[in-house]
Structure 1
Amino acid sequence: MFFIGFSSFSQPSEAAAKHMVQEFFKAFHDQDSVKLKTFAFEKVQLKSIGKKENGKMVVNTDSYEKFVSSISSIPAEVNFEERLGNLTVNTDGYLANVWMPYEFYINNELSHCGVNNFQLIYIDKAWKILSIVDTRKKQACKD
């Protein structure tokens, strides 16, 4: 009985996936590049989906390393905040999807909004980021 109870603590859970994403955003806002790097699995890519002014859909791809570097290089006088909506978590064994709407502010002004979609893998008794895809729009943030 003891071994069954103990082994359940190392199993992936929706609560642990949600907590990892919340810790990611804490490190993000703290510009903690060391901590941000601990959340990544191998070769994480970030993709952003948006529309150009002419209405053409565009997908931008960046490496996680470039993302971490850009966050840590934001000047101290720039106030940035990503305000998250409700996090929705779905898991299937060692795979999780964490989805949340967001609004991104720079110096207390709305820059853009959209949805974040984190794909996570449970490995070495922790959730790690496989990929992040977000949508970005300038208007209709309250829709």
Structure 2
Amino acid sequence: MKKLLLFLFLCPLLAIGQQKTSDEDQIKAVILKTFSAMKSVDSVALKSCFTEKAVLQISQIRPEGNIVREVPIANFVKNVMTRKAGDMDERVLSWGPILVDHEIATAWVPYEFYLNGKFTHKGVDAFILVKIGEEYKIQTLLYNMQK
């Protein structure tokens, strides 16, 4: 009887853990799909990673102070499409925390960026994602760049 009660108590907790893992896997997949679409210069795949009103922001420290530039997603996609396949290679260095609450999530992703096979910078991508239907899409991508 004790084992049955323990089993009934733990089942919901196990289901929650499995859902979180599934969400984390989906979040990692959309981030990796974004990087892959950049590398392969695939505009359809790249656009599919973002919501319609997604925001891309770049934080840069300058002598006059920190600035944050905002780039429309359409401009970002257009810029990627000016490259040749393989020119852009963004690599995940590690997976930082991924936090999920119902339909929203955040992911902290340290990265390195290579252009034409040469290291240009590294930094952190801070993603805010929203679950639309059964899939996560990027709503906000804020990143910084360090030489």
TM-score tier after normalising by the smaller chain length: 0.7 to 0.9
**Does the 8 Å contact 2:39/2:87 carry over to 1?**
no
Match of 2:49 in 1: 39
SS in 1 for 2:105: strand
Distance (Å, rounded) in 2 between the aligned partners of 1:85 and 1:136: 14
TM-score of the pair, normalised by structure 1: 0.80
Quick one: which of 120, 132, 135 aligns to 2:141?
A: 132
Aligned residue pair count: 128
Match of 1:18 in 2: 28
Shift of 1:79: 2.7
TM-score of the pair, normalised by structure 2: 0.78
**Does the 8 Å contact 2:30/2:136 carry over to 1?**
yes
List aligned pairs for 1:1-143, cutoff 5 A: 13-52=23-62, 54=63, 56-75=65-84, 79-88=87-96, 89-138=98-147
Shift of 1:63: 0.7
Gaps of 5+ in 1: 139-143
Gaps of 5+ in 2: 1-14
SS in 2 for 1:16: helix
Distance (Å, rounded) in 2 between the aligned partners of 1:75 and 1:28: 10
Distance (Å, rounded) in 1 between the aligned partners of 2:52 and 2:88: 27
RMSD: 2.1
Q: What percentage of residue pairs aligned between the two structures are identical? A: 28
